[in-house]
A and B are shown apart, each in its own frame.
Chain A
Amino acid sequence: MKEQAPTYTLEQIDEENFALNLGPQHPGTHGVLRVILHMDGEYILYADPILGYGHRMQEKVAENMTYLQVLPYVCRMDYLGALSYNLAWVCAVEKLCEFEVPDRASVVRVIATELNRISSHLLWWGAYLLDLGAFTPFLQAFTDRELILDLLEYITGSRLTYCYFRFGGLPSDVDDVFLTGVRDFIEGFRGRLKNYHDLVTGNVIFYHRSADVGVILPFDAAGYGLSGPVLRGSGFAYDVRRHEPYSGYDRFDFEIPVEETGDCMARYNVRMAEIEQSMNIIEQALNTIPDGPIRSKVPKIIKPPEGEVTMAVETPRGELVIYIVSDGTKKPYRVKYRVPSFSNLSIFAKLARGQLLADALAVLGSFDLVIPEVDR
């Protein structure tokens, strides 16, 4: 196969232009992402993202393992929103094998996943402002994130790559220490979230760095297949939790925050509003958590019938779709992960064109990328 590079968009390359290599190790790229930037002074003429430095061939690995063995692997893709991946894999297999999940397990899953979403957004908040040159927010976000990590460590046993859900329910029940802890956290964090807004949201420097920067037009959103806060910043109220409710999300009353402007500021506002919505969901879940079993009876060896299943889940970064083809054996025949960061990053080259280098880094940060998720 003959290699064909993308059509070079420059009319002419004159002596003033040069190629700048950003990454693969750069604090602004949030992982091992390399971008070759063709620059004219401080302005980007053409950006070419190079990926694959964290490629682990997750899909082939899954073909060679049983359904249960894959479970801890999926959580290594998005290390900041591991429970969403955990949930997606568990729900996909449950759908394929038609396993029942007890109500209590579903509600605990929602609490844990939403806590994970808040912690992911908090890390993004700190890291994004670090990208823009503010150091204090990072420390503040990590203080609150630490409290969530402690809570999740208490029930899952790990602090980052959680693997807490099992086919048909949960491995262990949550106790009052956890539930009271979550309630206390929500109560305290609601007050502290105001400080976040006071410190950053109205700040004039932040405003100039993010408003009207990296505007995504609604037309482009569909062409590039964007999802998550990146999409909702451009005026689409698309959220898998609402459109294809899973794990009992249809029982909760929550809003989908949407902004119309499509710039970095819009994506910032969407995520900040999402933190509040996640807290609303957790509060409702805490108030309605039923008693009962936490795990239904499922076979020890998972052997799904021949067939296919598609399971979509809203991770902190957007829409994750897991597509499993089963041939009736203990191992999946084919697994495809449609990861949100992959599609979200694909629009970067278009947005970066004509921007200042510093603005391009602000755009990259506003996508909330997890590169191991793109590479898989």
Chain B
Amino acid sequence: MQVNNPLQQALNSVGIEYRPTEFPNIGLHCSLVLERNQLEPLALSLSRAGFFIETVTAVDKVQDGIFECVYFFNHYDEALRLLIRIPIPRSHPVQSSIGKIFPGAVWHERETAEMFGIKFEGCPDTRNFLLPEDADFHPLRKDFSGVL
């Protein structure tokens, strides 16, 4: 397969296989499941290839005992939406921050941190974002009952 789009180049430069999905069906050009230590090199490579950050969030897979950290990237020149999933254990929810590579990720990480109780290591700002400054509960966890 010839190298023809920025996503393929970005993925190849960090040694990740490029496997496009059917875009019109699910709205994604590519979907990846990665390890935690692969995120930072890939983010750097995506930043160099001109990708922008859409959002950072998480999904609480309470049955499997994991949080899935979800990253969305896209490109301004063509529709190349990339979804990156990084499973992290619920018992030790720590993730590395990409806030220094994509400054826009800081707010997304602050929101994800307070909603799920995931710690983003190296995030330049770790205060609560939407919740009150003294809130220590994590509403988007599936076991959050609303009773404090």
B-binding residues in A (CB < 8 A) = 1-7, 51-52, 55, 57, 59-60, 95, 220-226, 231, 236-238, 243-244, 307-312, 319, 321, 323, 325, 333-334, 336, 338, 342-343, 346-347, 350, 375-376
Mask for B71-114, Cβ within 8 A of A = 1, else 0?
Answer: 01000111101010000000000000000001111111000010
Q: Does the CB pair A3–B27 fall under 8 Å? A: no
Q: Does the CB pair A224–B27 fall under 8 Å? A: no
Q: Does the CB pair A223–B47 fall under 8 Å? A: yes
Across the interface, name the chain A residue whose C-beta is closest to B144. Answer: A60
A60-B140, A222-B52 in contact; A52/B70 too (CB < 8 A)? no
A243-B78, A312-B81 in contact; A59/B107 too (CB < 8 A)? no
Query: How far is B115's CA from A59's CA once the two chains are assembled, in angstroms?
Result: 10
Q: Which residues on the A side are within 8 Å of B103 (C-beta)?
A: 220, 223-224, 346, 350
A7-B124, A310-B81 in contact; A323/B76 too (CB < 8 A)? no
Q: Which residues on the A side are within 8 Å of B108 (C-beta)?
A: 342
Query: How far is B108's CA from A51's CA once the two chains are assembled, in angstroms?
Result: 13
The residue that B70 contacts in the complex, of A243, A323, A343, with Cβ under 8 A, is A323
The residue that A323 contacts in the complex, of B52, B72, B107, with Cβ under 8 A, is B72
Q: Does the CB pair B51–A321 fall under 8 Å? A: no
A243-B79, A310-B27, A321-B72 in contact; A1/B119 too (CB < 8 A)? yes
Q: Does the CB pair B26–A221 fall under 8 Å? A: no
Q: Does the CB pair A334–B52 fall under 8 Å? A: no
Across the interface, name the chain B residue whose C-beta is closest to A334. Answer: B59
Across the interface, name the chain B residue whose C-beta is closest to A239. Answer: B76
Q: Which residues on the B side are within 8 Å of A5 (C-beta)?
A: 125, 127
Q: Does the CB pair B127–A223 fall under 8 Å? A: no
Chain B interface: which size bin?
Answer: 35 or more
Q: Does the CB pair B52–A346 fall under 8 Å? A: no
Q: Which residues on the A side are within 8 Å of B59 (C-beta)?
A: 325, 333-334
Q: Does the CB pair A225–B102 fall under 8 Å? A: yes
- Closest Cβ of chain B to A312, distance in Å, is 6
User: Besides the contacts A95-B27, A222-B47, A225-B55, what 4 more A-B pairs have beta carbons closer than 8 Å?
Assistant: A60-B144, A334-B59, A334-B60, A350-B103
- The 26 sampled A-B contact pairs (Cβ below 8 Å) are A1-B126, A4-B127, A7-B124, A51-B129, A55-B131, A59-B140, A95-B26, A221-B52, A222-B52, A222-B76, A223-B52, A225-B52, A243-B78, A244-B27, A307-B26, A309-B27, A310-B27, A310-B28, A311-B27, A321-B54, A323-B57, A323-B70, A333-B59, A342-B108, A343-B107, A375-B130
Q: Does the CB pair B131–A52 fall under 8 Å? A: yes
Query: How far is B106's CA from A7's CA once the two chains are assembled, in angstroms?
Result: 13
The residue that B54 contacts in the complex, of A244, A308, A309, A338, with Cβ under 8 A, is A338
Interface of A is mostly: mixed
Across the interface, name the chain B residue whose C-beta is closest to A322. Answer: B27
Q: Which residues on the B side are within 8 Å of A95 (C-beta)?
A: 25-27
The residue that A6 contacts in the complex, of B47, B125, B129, B132, with Cβ under 8 A, is B125
Q: Does the CB pair A336–B119 fall under 8 Å? A: no
Q: Which residues on the A side are within 8 Å of B119 (C-beta)?
A: 1
Query: How far is B70's CA from A336's CA once the two chains are assembled, in angstroms?
Result: 10
Sorted nearest first, the 9 A-B pairs with minimum C-beta distance are: A310-B27, A224-B104, A52-B130, A222-B52, A338-B55, A225-B104, A225-B53, A238-B76, A243-B79
Q: Is B65 an interface residue (CB 8 A)?
A: no
Mask for B109-148, Cβ within 8 A of A = 1, else 0?
Answer: 0000101000100001111111110000001100010000
Q: Does the CB pair B52–A226 fall under 8 Å? A: yes
For B27, B78, B106, the residue with the greatest tally of chain A CB atoms inside 10 Å of its CB is B27
Q: Which residues on the A side are within 8 Å of B113 (C-beta)?
A: 1
Q: Is B50 an interface residue (CB 8 A)?
A: yes
The residue that A4 contacts in the complex, of B28, B47, B126, B131, with Cβ under 8 A, is B126
Q: Does the CB pair A52–B129 fall under 8 Å? A: yes
Q: Which residues on the B side are within 8 Å of A308 (C-beta)?
A: 26
Q: Does the CB pair B104–A223 fall under 8 Å? A: yes
Query: How far is B129's CA from A215's CA once the two chains are assembled, in angstroms?
Result: 26
Query: How far is B76's CA from A236's CA once the two chains are assembled, in angstroms?
Result: 7
- Closest Cβ of chain A to B72, distance in Å, is 7
Q: Which residues on the A side are within 8 Å of B60 (C-beta)?
A: 334
Q: Which residues on the B side are within 8 Å of A309 (C-beta)?
A: 26-27
